[in-house]
């Protein structure tokens, strides 16, 4: 039978960000309705497919503008500074042990271009007062690669067992007396006077004073089903990632080991899990139609295994595959999170953390609590949903990423003669610029004007020439 219940705040989304927001608000004395599946396989959820690394600095890229690096790193440093305290809070609520962190992350260099990437990462860490140190490959526990020629140790970062952390955060939400968890999906949103209503799949309705949307890439579909909810917020895009859980490598991995970002994707990385297994992640490709039921493709698996075996640990070729996961990472055109109040006075966003969801979750939760306690407090914050977000020129976007296009077409394992990458990059950029004359291609590019759209455009070119 349908039922209507009330709460001060409803949080839609039960990934790590939604869980963190629900617990933080409840600790502050707020009654919370948490809407999202508690059971099942959580297909497509980014949190359940994550590694995870607390990447304060290693997400920096050489091409990033200094102003962007300074702002993003400052937020990630703030998140990292309070992380152990947050883990202790979760443990206090559950009555169990705190999830432990593995100090430090290794970032490897395998190709000449990686030197610039490691230099940019090292500079960001040094500016934050947490400098890294360069080491030879044989200093990296768990690294077994003929291609790596140096590695950067980042003591200011850390690894965490994402599965264990998500389970503890979920247990804290279940245990907290001010949280009511609806173990189902939100179907529609509606206004009712000065309040909001969330209709869930069981037929129940939650009436709430304020609504926090933390459902990641599911937010656009939820809003499409909910007429007349105007938020004036930027679009939430989806980056599809595939990861694996393997038997432990022949050489024990202690701290996480990763490559720099390249080819429109995050770096390949190995993270030890508490159960003695190894997490290998992760691919990243923009998709305009996130489908939680779509399984990993053979190409995604091949790319992931190639990167892991060739660049990180050759012994993985003999490891048994225990699990393959697909997760959709939410992100925005400017690649910054959306945290704060929207143009609708009752609706807040807590999403688009992209590849830093595990790290930023407690920081986002604190910001959301601040905005609910003090409306307008985040209006000038870099994560504010109301911030200006100019769209990049598509032709310029193509021209600026010729090197990444070459990296993309050479995966997995392709080699080019000396001097060939530059002209090939020019050729690919020219072909893509020409393809933008096609109205359907231009509509696709305009719907997601980010560098991650370029691989999709290459696919279109390939299909059109068959």
Distances (CA, A) of 395 to 265, 398, 432: 21, 5, 9
Quote the pLDDT of residue 154.
Answer: 98
Its sign, for the CA torsion 458, 63, 384, 21, is positive
Q: What is the mean pLDDT of residues 354-374?
A: 97
Q: What is the mean pLDDT of residues 319-328?
A: 93
Q: What is the mean pLDDT of residues 387-401?
A: 80
Distances (CA, A) of 105 to 68, 129, 147: 22, 16, 19
For 315, other C-beta atoms within 10 Å of its C-beta total: 14
User: Higher model confidence: residue 268 or residue 391?
Assistant: 268
Q: What is the mean pLDDT of residues 286-302?
A: 92
Quote the pLDDT of residue 1.
Answer: 40
Quote the pLDDT of residue 463.
Answer: 66
Q: pLDDT confidence of 376, banded at 50, 70, 90? A: very high
Give tens-digit pLDDT for 221-274. 999 999 888 898 899 999 999 999 998 766 688 999 999 998 777 889 999 887
CA distance 237 to 288: 7
Describe the chain by its helix, strand, coil percentages, rounded to 5.
40, 25, 40
Q: What is the mean pLDDT of residues 20-49?
A: 91
Give tens-digit pLDDT for 236-249. 999 999 999 998 76
Quote the pLDDT of residue 174.
Answer: 97
pLDDT > 70: percent of the chain: 93
Q: What is the mean pLDDT of residues 156-171?
A: 94
Give tens-digit pLDDT for 55-98. 999 999 999 999 999 999 999 999 999 999 999 999 999 999 99
Quote the pLDDT of residue 412.
Answer: 46
Contact (CB, 8 A) for 425 and 395:
no
CA distance 412 to 406: 12
Give tens-digit pLDDT for 195-222. 999 999 999 999 999 999 999 999 999 9
Q: pLDDT confidence of 353, banded at 50, 70, 90? A: very high
pLDDT of 421 > 80? The answer is no
Range with lowest mean pLDDT among 41-50, 124-133, 325-334, 336-345: 41-50
pLDDT of 22 > 50? The answer is yes
How big is the chain by its Cα radius of gyration, in Å?
A: 22
Quote the pLDDT of residue 260.
Answer: 95
Closest CA to 127 of 67, 84, 52: 67
Residues 383, 362, 274: CA angle, nearest 5 degrees: 130
Bridge partners of residue 349, in order along the sequence: 213, 340
User: Higher model confidence: residue 267 or residue 415?
Assistant: 267
Give the DSSP per-residue string, 1-40: ---EEEEEEEEE--SHHHHHHHHHHHHTT--EEEES-SSS
Which stretches of 136-228 are assigned E, i.e. beta strand?
A: 150-159, 179-182, 186-192, 195-200, 205-213
Quote the pLDDT of residue 262.
Answer: 83
Each domain of the chain, given as residue ranges in start order, spans 394-464
pLDDT of 413 > 60? The answer is no
User: Higher model confidence: residue 87 or residue 450?
Assistant: 87
pLDDT of 436 > 80? The answer is no
Quote the pLDDT of residue 409.
Answer: 63
pLDDT of 451 > 60? The answer is yes
């Amino acid at each position: 039978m349908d039922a209507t219940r009330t709460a001060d705040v409803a949080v839609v989304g039960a990934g790590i960000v939604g869980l963190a927001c629900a617990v933080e608000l409840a600790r502050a004395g707020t009654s919370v309705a948490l809407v999202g599946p508690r059971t099942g396989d959580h297909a497509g959820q980014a949190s359940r497919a994550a590694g995870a690394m607390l990447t304060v600095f290693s997400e920096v890229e050489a091409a990033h503008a200094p102003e962007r690096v300074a702002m993003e790193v400052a937020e990630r440093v703030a998140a990292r500074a309070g992380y152990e305290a947050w883990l202790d809070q979760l443990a206090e609520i559950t009555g169990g042990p705190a999830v432990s962190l593995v100090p430090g992350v290794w970032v490897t260099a395998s190709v000449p271009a990686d030197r610039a990437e490691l230099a940019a990462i090292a500079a960001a860490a040094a500016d934050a007062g947490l400098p890294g140190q360069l080491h030879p490959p044989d200093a990296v526990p768990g690294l077994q690669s003929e291609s790596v020629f140096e590695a950067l140790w980042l003591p200011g970062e850390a690894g965490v067992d994402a599965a264990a952390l998500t389970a503890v955060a979920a247990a804290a939400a279940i245990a907290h007396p001010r949280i009511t968890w609806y173990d189902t999906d939100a179907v529609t949103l509606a206004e009712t006077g000065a309040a909001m209503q969330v209709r869930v799949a069981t037929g129940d309705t939650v009436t709430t004073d304020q609504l926090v949307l933390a459902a990641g890439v599911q937010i656009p579909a939820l809003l499409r089903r909910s007429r007349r909810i105007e938020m004036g917020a930027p679009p939430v895009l989806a980056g599809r990632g595939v990861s694996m859980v393997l038997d432990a490598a022949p050489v024990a991995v202690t701290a996480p080991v990763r490559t720099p970002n390249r080819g429109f994707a995050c770096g390949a990385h190995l993270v030890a899990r508490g159960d003695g297994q190894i997490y290998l992640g992760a691919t990243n490709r923009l998709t305009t139609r996130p489908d939680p039921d779509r399984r990993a493709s053979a190409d995604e698996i091949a790319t992931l295994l190639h990167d892991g075996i060739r660049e990180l640990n050759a012994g993985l070729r003999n490891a048994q595959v225990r699990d393959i996961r697909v997760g959709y990472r939410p992100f925005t055109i400017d690649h910054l999170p959306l945290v704060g109040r929207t143009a609708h006075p009752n609706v807040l966003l807590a999403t688009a953390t992209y590849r830093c969801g595990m790290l930023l979750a407690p920081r986002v939760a604190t910001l959301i609590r601040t905005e609910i306690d003090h409306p307008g407090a985040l209006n000038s914050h870099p994560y504010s949903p109301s911030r200006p977000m100019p769209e990049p020129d598509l032709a310029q976007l193509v021209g600026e990423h010729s090197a990444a296009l070459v990296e993309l077409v050479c995966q997995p394992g392709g080699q080019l003669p000396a001097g060939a990458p530059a002209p090939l990059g020019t050729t690919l950029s020219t072909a893509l610029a020409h393809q933008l004359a096609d109205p359907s291609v231009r509509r696709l590019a305009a719907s997601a004007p980010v560098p991650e759209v370029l691989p999709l455009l290459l696919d279109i070119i390939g299909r059109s020439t068959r």
